[in-house]
A and B are shown apart, each in its own frame.
Chain A
Amino acid sequence: MRDFARLYAELDETTATNRKLDALRNYFSRTPPQHAAWAVYFLAGGKPRQTVPTKLLRQYAIEYGGIAEWLFDESYHAVGDLAETIAHVLPPPKQTSDIGLAEWMTERIAPLRGAQPEKIRDALFAWWDQTDWRERFLLMKLIGGGFRVGVSKLLVTRALAEVAELDSKLVAQRLMGWTDGRAFNQNGPTSDRYMQLIAPISEDEHQLRGGQPYPFFLAHPLNVEPQTLGSTTDWLVEWKYDGIRAQLVRRTNQNWLWSRGEDLITDRFPEIASIALPEGTVIDGEILIWKTDLPASFADLQKRIGRKTISAKMLAELPAVLVAYDVLEHEGVDIRATPQASRRAILENIVNYANNPTLKLSPLITTDDWQTLATIREGSRSRVVEGMMLKRADAHYGVGRTKDVGVWWKWKIDPYAVDAVLIYAQAGHGRRASLYTDYTFAVWDTEADGKRVLVPFAKAYSGLTDAEIGKVDAAIRKTTVEKFGPVRSVKPTMVFEIGFEGIAKSTRHKAGIAVRFPRILRIRDDKLVEQADTLDVLKDMLA
């Protein structure tokens, strides 16, 4: 594990892409496959489930470190990361360990799940005795869940491709689905799978694919006037739906449904998983909850996402559909390099053939001029979509956010926006530790007796520059009224324009509404607290 801990530290402590690439190449060129397999799993975004409850990790770290509980908590508030706090407060190790990553994962960490607290305590103490700072930090991340590496999947793909002397698109393809625990065997990533990943290209590459999806092609935000894009006939225009982007894969008489996060979600959406497709078909589309003629809000979809078992009642009340955008594989052949318009024609045939209301064709919006399109786009909200997608008629289906083989633009409508008052602040995590960066915003409501009160309605922590965060952080410290642990209540003095993508009724929130993707659009220094928006303004936005 020492080597992987060193790699993790190297990736973590540099922002330079070249240095990260060097570190990755270095690691993969000298690491045995059983360990490299696990490393790929983590680096590609694999998230192991939490093995030991946070409460126990904290309790045993306090005991082993011999420090008071409050002092541990103070340390945690300064660090903003539990694993890092634990790694910093423990006394230096007594020994070293040469156990490799694969053994750590399968023989040490995995058996701890659900173990008796005493057994967990003994194990942690023994491990802390033989691990240095970097290893402890990594270990706590692996055990405590929430493991994340500061490296893009693209870079990992590049490093592997260079070490294996393969085309990186091939490696990207082979990497699809690597991080999903259920998709492959239960033992986790094995050396066999790693060897397949870096093997020379073979004749039966396609057969080896199993249920793997293709890398998703992603759109770029449109930041020019659409008129500059030429004739509308060069473009396929569709709605931009707000659901879960997914691929439905049909191979070897079996269906697989994959989310864009490369999680296998076949079991979560049985109605979509049971769509009959011709053998050797891969459809790219959007999962949505459909009610009569329109998609339901994302909030309804969220109710389905979280559930492992889906009741008949839920299936009836919240029926999911797949709105088909594209076809990537047809009759067992990868057709991603076929022009968009031709793929569309194939897609239409497939959807007609399937003849299943759960598989809908994403409608094309055809007009002769951009002005008419812009007018239609204005009505996006009433159609419960986020705007439009513009896909070049000759575009290939690319890999990720590439533009070299054609482009997709997302032409979104402006978000909802209100002016709200900052009332609570909490220190951030990671890069934002010890800075007040997580804010709760409120709008005005009038109580029965006519008194105006501020009602919290959203939390947001993104949208400000570092310089602005510094300014707001200083203001928060100056205007603090009370501190509750890491949270401060502040005197209402600062107004912000808060943007969000959607709004729904909520019984769980005091304000009676919940907003989706709230973020800070800008600081409204020009507005007084009294001039912030009211709850009624928000309620009027409810469809």
Chain B
Amino acid sequence: MADMVVARKEGLYCVPGDFYIDPWRPVPRAIITHAHSDHARVGHGHYLAAAPGVGILKSRLGDINIDPLPYGEPVTHNGVTISLHPAGHVLGSAQVRMEYRGEVWVASGDYKVESDGTCAAFEPIRCDTFITESTFGLPIYRWQAQAEIFADINQWWRRNADNGRCSVLFCYSFGKAQRILHGIDESIGPIVCHGAVEPLNRVYREAGVRIPDTLAASDIKDKTVFQRALVIAPPSAGGSTWMRRFGDYSDAFASGWMQLRGARRRRAVDRGFVLSDHADWPGLMQAIKASEAQRVIVTHGQIPVMVRWLSQNGWDAGAFETEYGDEDNEALVEAPALEENKPGTQVGNA
């Protein structure tokens, strides 16, 4: 049987369905797994996305022609039955299940297996072929339970606050920021969010996710308030004039890349918190096994490593070259510090 999904220069293409998944060039019909900018781009004729993510997509891409699809609800297009299932990555993130003549393919988009309370938890979907991301596809990436990480963040914040020093936590504005806000102990002090973060907080609140009260930096006239505050900002704010108002501050960065000392030291922040919205190595293995797929196609991240490992362990493994990055990585490029480069994502960009 011919492959249901292939990689084209526009993006991943469902052949019988005649639509694309997260295409990077304008196409007539696109299914969007989530609203991070490397997956959701402007210029497509028609969009389909999981209902909880539509609000963010519209706010980021403007006036697009988009249909919301509730999680788990099937819709048929050109004979392909499509349904979207939670990927646990960010609000509205979805895996795309495609069934055609009894064969099932699932494209994961970005996913995380640990549930975090800010979006629907990852749901394993049985399939014949699983298209998986591989951002952290090396055995060195094993995440601590998030409760421990939040305890570390709280401790850092509390200690700074006790010393009258502002805590500035850099993280990606969409997803990571809200996950942190949802997970931290808001009783420690006031929370200030950068202008890039606050609109997304609103979307999360509207979706019913508990996000503590947040302030804008410009609202605070009394500078002493900052001494106990936690500031959530995108990495691009680091070193900008916006930072000056906080006086003496301790800075930190939250990302899966902080797992490695080298990456942490390159960042040159006081603290690195290893908090990722992607699956770690055990998480990737868990998702692949739970899919019961015989065939696995690896995209963006550690492609050669994952393909080799899967082949050696009995899977029929292959790769798609895509132009997806990862949100923290982009954040770092903006920063303008440097970050891990992932060989798998090179082809398109180079």
Interchain CB contact under 8 A, B261 and A435? no
Interchain CB contact under 8 A, B272 and A13? yes
Q: Does B103 contact A (CB under 8 A)?
A: no
Please give, as numbers and ranges, the residues of chain A lying within 8 Å of B302 by CB-CB distance: 74
Interchain CB contact under 8 A, B350 and A16? no
B174: min CB distance to chain A, Å = 24
Interchain CB contact under 8 A, A75 and B268? no
Q: Does B270 contact A (CB under 8 A)?
A: yes
On whether A68 and B312 interact (CB within 8 A), knowing A75-B139, A88-B140, A470-B338, the answer reads yes
Picked from A13, A16, A19, A473, the residue with its CB within 8 Å of the CB of B338 is A473
A469–B142 Cα distance when bound, in Å, is 28
Interchain CB contact under 8 A, B270 and A78? no
A71–B309 Cα distance when bound, in Å, is 8
Q: Does B75 contact A (CB under 8 A)?
A: no
B288: min CB distance to chain A, Å = 16
Interchain CB contact under 8 A, B262 and A15? no
Picked from B138, B139, B260, B270, the residue with its CB within 8 Å of the CB of A433 is B260
Q: Does A478 contact B (CB under 8 A)?
A: yes
Please give, as numbers and ranges, the residues of chain B lying within 8 Å of A16 by CB-CB distance: 250, 270
A19–B141 Cα distance when bound, in Å, is 27
Picked from B263, B264, B305, B309, the residue with its CB within 8 Å of the CB of A13 is B264
Interchain CB contact under 8 A, B305 and A74? yes
B261: min CB distance to chain A, Å = 6
Contact with B along A5-43 (1 / 0, CB 8 A): 000000011111001000000000000000000000000
A124–B264 Cα distance when bound, in Å, is 28
Q: Does A386 contact B (CB under 8 A)?
A: no
Picked from A19, A89, A434, the residue with its CB within 8 Å of the CB of B263 is A434
Interchain CB contact under 8 A, B270 and A431? no
Interchain CB contact under 8 A, A74 and B264? no
Which stretch, A79-87, A112-120, A418-426, A533-541, touches the partner chain B?
A: A79-87
A81–B262 Cα distance when bound, in Å, is 9
Interchain CB contact under 8 A, B270 and A84? no
Interchain CB contact under 8 A, B142 and A88? yes
Interface centre among B264, B266, B270, B336, by most A CB within 10 Å?
B266
A200–B64 Cα distance when bound, in Å, is 76
A335–B139 Cα distance when bound, in Å, is 59
Q: Dominant SS at the A interface?
A: helix
A288–B25 Cα distance when bound, in Å, is 66
A65–B140 Cα distance when bound, in Å, is 11
The count of chain A contact residues (Cβ–Cβ below 8 Å) is 37
Please give, as numbers and ranges, the residues of chain B lying within 8 Å of A81 by CB-CB distance: 261-262
Interchain CB contact under 8 A, A466 and B270? no
**Who on chain A is nearest to B338 by CB?**
A470
Contact with B along A68-100 (1 / 0, CB 8 A): 101100110011110011001100000000000
A62: min CB distance to chain B, Å = 11
Q: Does B308 contact A (CB under 8 A)?
A: yes
Interchain CB contact under 8 A, A80 and B305? no
**Who on chain B is nearest to A14 by CB?**
B270
A57: min CB distance to chain B, Å = 16
B173: min CB distance to chain A, Å = 22
Q: Does B346 contact A (CB under 8 A)?
A: yes
Interface residues of A in 406-464 (CB under 8 A from B): 428-435
Contact with A along B57-89 (1 / 0, CB 8 A): 000000000000000000000000000000000
Q: Does B259 contact A (CB under 8 A)?
A: yes
Picked from B269, B308, B350, the residue with its CB within 8 Å of the CB of A15 is B269
Please give, as numbers and ranges, the residues of chain B lying within 8 Å of A19 by CB-CB distance: 250, 270
Q: Does B147 contact A (CB under 8 A)?
A: no
Please give, as numbers and ranges, the residues of chain A lying within 8 Å of B272 by CB-CB distance: 13
Interchain CB contact under 8 A, B261 and A65? no
**Who on chain A is nearest to B336 by CB?**
A467
On whether A85 and B338 interact (CB within 8 A), knowing A14-B270, A78-B260, A431-B265, the answer reads no
A13–B273 Cα distance when bound, in Å, is 10
Interface residues of B in 65-118 (CB under 8 A from A): none
A514: min CB distance to chain B, Å = 29
Please give, as numbers and ranges, the residues of chain A lying within 8 Å of B309 by CB-CB distance: 68, 71
Picked from A65, A79, A473, A478, the residue with its CB within 8 Å of the CB of B260 is A79
A65–B139 Cα distance when bound, in Å, is 10
Q: Does A67 contact B (CB under 8 A)?
A: yes
Contact with B along A461-488 (1 / 0, CB 8 A): 0000011011001100110000000000
Contact with B along A268-309 (1 / 0, CB 8 A): 000000000000000000000000000000000000000000
Contact with A along B335-347 (1 / 0, CB 8 A): 0111011000010
A60–B189 Cα distance when bound, in Å, is 48
**Who on chain A is nearest to B304 by CB?**
A74
Interchain CB contact under 8 A, B341 and A434? yes
A74–B312 Cα distance when bound, in Å, is 15
**Who on chain A is nearest to B340 by CB?**
A434
A431–B141 Cα distance when bound, in Å, is 17
| A80-B260, A434-B341 given; 4 more Cβ-contact pairs under 8 Å | A78-B140, A80-B262, A88-B259, A430-B262
A-B contact pairs, 19 of them (CB 8 A): A12-B261, A14-B271, A15-B268, A15-B269, A16-B250, A68-B312, A75-B138, A75-B140, A81-B261, A88-B139, A89-B140, A429-B262, A430-B261, A434-B262, A435-B266, A435-B338, A474-B341, A477-B341, A477-B346
Chain B residues close to A by CB (< 8 Å): 138-142, 250, 259-266, 268-272, 302, 305, 308-309, 312, 336-338, 340-341, 346, 350
Q: Which 5 A-B pairs have the closest CB atoms?
A: A433-B262, A88-B140, A431-B265, A470-B338, A75-B140
